[in-house]
Amino acid sequence: MLNIDITTRPDIDHLLATFYTQAMADETLGHIFTEVAKIDLKTHLPIIGDFWEGILLGNLVYRGNPMRKHFALADETPLLAEHFAVWLTLWEATVRANVVGEKADMAVQRAQNIGRLMLHKLEMTG
């Protein structure tokens, strides 16, 4: 059943838990999360939830620098256009399967913009 839109932090948390479960199992991305970054979802989901809460709900609770984290990750394994394309495809599919509305559309659009910018910056330094 689709929720009308993203209106609360629990909406974001559900979306992220669903997405990361799929991303970590994906044959293209999974190893980056599980073997390279060794993501612990209990630790990671609240942080990334803070990031998305700021973007989607305007609550500026995120404290961090996502580019710095991805630069460090890129030092350990290549982060390629293919990885970003798969990430974005999974993200959009997860959003579209769970929520509809203005904030859902914003979640997809902002992820596309962030992905393009992040890939560009990684390519410029690599």
Residue 4 lies in a domain: no
CATH of the domain at 109: 1.10.490.10
Residue 17 has pLDDT above 70, yes or no: yes
* pLDDT at residue 125, as a whole number: 83
Residue 71 lies in a domain: yes
Residue 2 lies in a domain: no
Mean pLDDT, residues 5-28 taken together: 97
State how many domains the chain has. 1
Residue 98 lies in a domain: yes
Contacts of 43 (CB under 8 A, 6+ apart): none
Residue 126 has pLDDT above 80, yes or no: no
pLDDT tens digit sequence for 37-84: 999 999 999 999 999 999 999 999 999 998 999 999 999 999 999 999
* 94, 15 Cβ separation under 8 angstroms: yes
pLDDT tens digit sequence for 24-43: 999 999 999 999 999 999 99
Residue 1 lies in a domain: no
Residue 44 lies in a domain: yes
- 55-94: burial string, b at 16+ Cβ within 10 Å, e else: bbbeeeebeeeeeeebbebbeeeebeeebbebbbebbbeb
Domain span at 48: 9-125
Indicate whether this model's pTM tops 0.85. Answer: yes
CA atoms within 13 A on the CB side of 53: 17
